[in-house]
């Protein structure tokens, strides 16, 4: 059954797999690494443009290592999960300095790189160097779970151990890179999460999930993600109409290393009305004379583990409030050069449209 699975998968890949991506068949470990980091927690359709722009801007790991961090984060803007970008910068600097710009060529060293886990290390090792390491991503978990009828949760230690052993046993020893790409493509275009093409599947005669009508039930996850709600209110403080206050986000929270305006965070939505802002303005700016120009509608952004909601309040004042330690005053004309999270970028893109009060 296992040998049949691998043989049929490789035959499907040779004759029927038409899935095209710019990094398929790539042997440059730098480009493979870049594509894999971009695709962590990101759909291929969304990641394509980012990959192509990164390769144009930074054709080698040395180019990436030399780039100003702000430029790299600006190019990443909108892709989310910004820890990936932080790790990208750190790893590029490490390879450029400690490895003289030469990407590691063995699995264990690749795995030791910042931001690289077992899946990414296996992908780089097999695609670039044809080393026998099996990949395990969402597509692979789904294919194996359905084909073998496995109901062990994929997010448990027992499940991870079971799937790791099975993936290794199925791996094509002579062409591990080709096999890894084939099984991921198979999960993306045939054994899809929703509406899988079971009728056209070359594995259908031996698929246990199809046999017992449990395709929709597999794979199983034990843990259900609990989402957190956050309400963020951003005050765009304009100094003499041409300067605004921004700061770089630090700490271990969302959007680390990106920029933001003056932030006021609550655990619930503010009640509508300008009167609501009076105590907030006093808390933030003391007794400084502040004029409210505009208040935006409510903006939303859904993250994997958090739901973000909030508004943008445009203010005018003559001098920088003494309470604004940690913020820097920048010209409004230079704002587009700074990397902002998608939540703020969405407002910036709508800024010229009529805004509403609460």
Catalytic sites, residue numbers: 36
CA-closest candidate to residue 233, choices 297, 317, 154: 297
**End-to-end distance of the chain based on CA atoms, in angstroms?**
63
Burial class of 292 by CB neighbour count within 10 A (0 to 12, 13 to 18, 19+): middle
CB 153 within 8 Å of CB 221: yes
CA distances from 350 to 1, 46, 353 (A): 56, 21, 6
- 3-state helix vs strand vs coil in the chain, percent to 5: 45, 15, 40
Classify strands 228-239 and 291-295 as parallel, antiparallel or unpaired: unpaired
Residues 106, 91: Cα–Cα separation, whole Å: 16
SS3 state of residue 99: coil
Residue-wise DSSP of 206-241: T-HHHHTT-GGG-S--SPPPPPEEEEEEEEEEEETT
Structure tokens at 48: 């394509």
Burial class of 249 by CB neighbour count within 10 A (0 to 12, 13 to 18, 19+): middle
């Amino acid at each position: 059954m296992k040998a049949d699975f691998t043989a049929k998968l490789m035959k499907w890949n040779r004759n029927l797999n038409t899935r095209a991506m710019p990094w398929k068949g790539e042997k440059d470990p730098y480009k493979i690494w870049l594509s894999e980091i971009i695709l962590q927690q990101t759909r291929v359709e969304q990641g394509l443009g980012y990959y192509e722009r990164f390769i144009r801007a930074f054709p080698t790991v040395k180019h990436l290592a030399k780039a100003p961090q702000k430029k790299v984060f600006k190019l990443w803007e909108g892709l989310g999960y910004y820890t990936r970008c932080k790790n990208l910068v750190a790893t590029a600097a490490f390879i450029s300095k400690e490895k003289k710009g030469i990407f590691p060529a063995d699995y264990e060293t690749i795995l030791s790189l910042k931001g690289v886990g077992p899946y990414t290390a296996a992908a780089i090792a097999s695609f670039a160097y044809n080393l026998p390491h099996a990949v395990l991503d969402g597509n692979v978990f789904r294919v194996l779970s359905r084909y073998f009828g496995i109901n062990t949760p994929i997010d448990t230690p027992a499940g991870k151990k079971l799937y790791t052993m099975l993936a290794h046993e199925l791996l094509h020893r002579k062409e591990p890179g080709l096999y890894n790409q084939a099984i991921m493509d198979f999960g993306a275009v045939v054994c899809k999460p929703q509406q899988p093409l079971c009728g056209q599947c070359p594995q259908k005669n031996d698929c246990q999930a199809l046999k017992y009508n449990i395709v929709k039930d597999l794979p199983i996850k034990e843990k259900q993600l609990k989402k957190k709600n956050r309400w963020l209110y951003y005050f765009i403080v304009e100094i003499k109409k041409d300067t605004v206050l921004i700061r770089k986000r630090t700490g271990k929270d969302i959007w680390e290393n990106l920029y933001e305006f003056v932030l006021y965070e609550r655990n619930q939505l503010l009640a509508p009305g300008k009167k609501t802002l009076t105590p907030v303005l006093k808390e933030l700016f003391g007794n400084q004379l502040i004029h409210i120009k505009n208040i935006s509608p409510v903006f939303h952004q859904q993250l994997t583990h958090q739901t973000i909601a909030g508004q943008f309040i445009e203010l005018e004042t003559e001098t920088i409030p003494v309470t604004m330690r940690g913020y820097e005053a920048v010209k409004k004309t230079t704002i587009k050069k700074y990397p902002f999270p998608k939540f703020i970028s969405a407002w910036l893109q709508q800024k010229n449209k009529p805004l509403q009060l609460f």
